[in-house]
Amino acid sequence: MSNKPSLAIVYEHSEWFKPLFATLDRRGVDYQPIRFQDHHFDLAQIDAPAPLIFSRLAMSSFLRQDEHPIFYAQSLYAHWELNGARVINGTPALAIDASKARQLSVIQSLGLDVPATRVVHRQADIVAAAKTLRFPVIVKVNIGGSGAGVSRYDTLQELEQAVVDGATPKSIDSVILVQEYVPARDQRMVRMETLNGKFLYAISLNTDGGTFDLCPADVCLIDKPTVTVHEYKPDQDAIRAVEAIARTAKLDIGGIEFMIDDRDGTRRFYDINGLSNFVADPLNVLGWDPHETLVDYLIQAINDTREKVA
């Protein structure tokens, strides 16, 4: 009989997943936590650590370590999947999560609106790309997290000088987005969480505009007093849109963000995030704990995996 656990959870941030681990422990789920740090794998070893793998990879990991696991995870998950394991938010979802340009292409393919965007791979092309947009513009890295790698430029001259000075953001994959700055109505962004292709809950994040870091989890909100979080009740059009995005992106779990463009009232989607830390203080914000629903999903996935193996 195999001694493998039913579930392995691969993660990088040591604090973010304590609520998930606590819920799994309380519910009696057999799982193995695996940190990316110090992890390596043997191509000759075809057995995954568990038949079901849950990816908790954060795109912001490059901010915490130079030798981050973002590209390593793509190879690791592919190896496990090719040898029979199921990875929740595996290689198809990771390909979208690790590229803001791909995210916008997915959204646009569904007939939904995004901020006007140009994509370049050389710093020298940023100014030419921006000349076709309305100012202010933002220059944004293709792989980012926690608001990192996003800078606003109010005039073409300001942007030109930043390029000359080498001060514009640089992405770890050399892909850069040049995008119209969208003035958000009521300074509010909306993050809608999905699970298994279905809407789970939504929150609104209000900011005074002083930060692009709108992570709503407990650890993220430290030292960010200008961000306030409230439950948000989306309309059916928004729900249908995010569910379509999640399915197209092969996203098993994740958050999708939009804002209402104050210039014309258009709902513009701008981010697909494969890592959901869930909102801080969920019982007070939502009245229920989404970790319970997530563990329900994981237990069902474990049972489904067992049936396939049997």
Instruction: Identify whether residues 256 and 236 lie together within a single domain.
Output: yes
- The average pLDDT across 82-102 equals 97
Instruction: Identify whether residues 74 and 167 lie together within a single domain.
Output: no
- The average pLDDT across 183-195 equals 95
What is the domain extent for residue 146? 117-180
- Alpha-carbon dihedral sign for residues 282, 288, 292, 294: negative
Confirm whether 174 is domain-assigned: yes
- The average pLDDT across 210-229 equals 55
Instruction: Identify whether residues 104 and 224 lie together within a single domain.
Output: yes
Confirm whether 1 is domain-assigned: no
Q: What is the pLDDT of residue 152?
A: 95
Instruction: Identify whether residues 77 and 136 lie together within a single domain.
Output: no
3-state SS of the chain? CCCCCCEEEEECCCCCCHHHHHHHHHHCCCEEEEECCCCCCCCCCCCCCCCEEEEECCCCHHHHCCCCCHHHHHHHHHHHHHCCCEEECCHHHHHHHCCHHHHHHHHHHCCCECCCEEEECCHHHHHHHHCCCCCCEEEEECCCCCCCCEEEECCHHHHHHHHHHCCCCCCCCCCEEEEECCCEEEEEEEEEEEECCEEEEEEEEECCCCCCCCCCCCCCCCCCCCCEEEECCCCHHHHHHHHHHHHHCCCCEEEEEEEEECCCCCEEEEEEECCCCCCCCHHHHCCCCHHHHHHHHHHHHHHHHHHHHC
Confirm whether 122 is domain-assigned: yes
225 pLDDT exceeds 70? no
Instruction: Identify whether residues 127 and 225 lie together within a single domain.
Output: no
pLDDT in tens, 130-182: 999 999 999 999 998 767 789 999 999 999 999 999 999 999 999 999 999 99
Q: Could you say which of 134, 149, 180 is where a domain stops?
A: 180
Contact 62, 172 (CB under 8 A): yes
Confirm whether 219 is domain-assigned: yes
Instruction: Identify whether residues 21 and 141 lie together within a single domain.
Output: no
pLDDT in tens, 31-62: 999 999 989 999 999 999 999 999 999 998 88
Q: What is the pLDDT of residue 113?
A: 98
Q: How many domains does the chain have?
A: 3
Confirm whether 2 is domain-assigned: no
213 or 180, which is more confident:
180
Q: Could you say which of 135, 156, 180 is where a domain stops?
A: 180
Instruction: Identify whether residues 279 and 302 lie together within a single domain.
Output: no
CATH of residue 138: 3.30.1490.20
CATH of residue 234: 3.30.470.20
Q: Could you say which of 149, 180, 211 is where a domain stops?
A: 180
Instruction: Identify whether residues 236 and 273 lie together within a single domain.
Output: yes
Instruction: Identify whether residues 196 and 264 lie together within a single domain.
Output: yes
CATH of residue 13: 3.40.50.20
Confirm whether 29 is domain-assigned: yes
pLDDT in tens, 23-33: 999 999 999 99
Instruction: Identify whether residues 160 and 193 lie together within a single domain.
Output: no
Instruction: Identify whether residues 208 and 241 lie together within a single domain.
Output: yes
Confirm whether 202 is domain-assigned: yes
- The average pLDDT across 215-224 equals 47
Whole-prediction pTM:
0.91
Instruction: Identify whether residues 188 and 209 lie together within a single domain.
Output: yes
Q: How many Å is the Cα radius of gyration of the chain?
A: 20
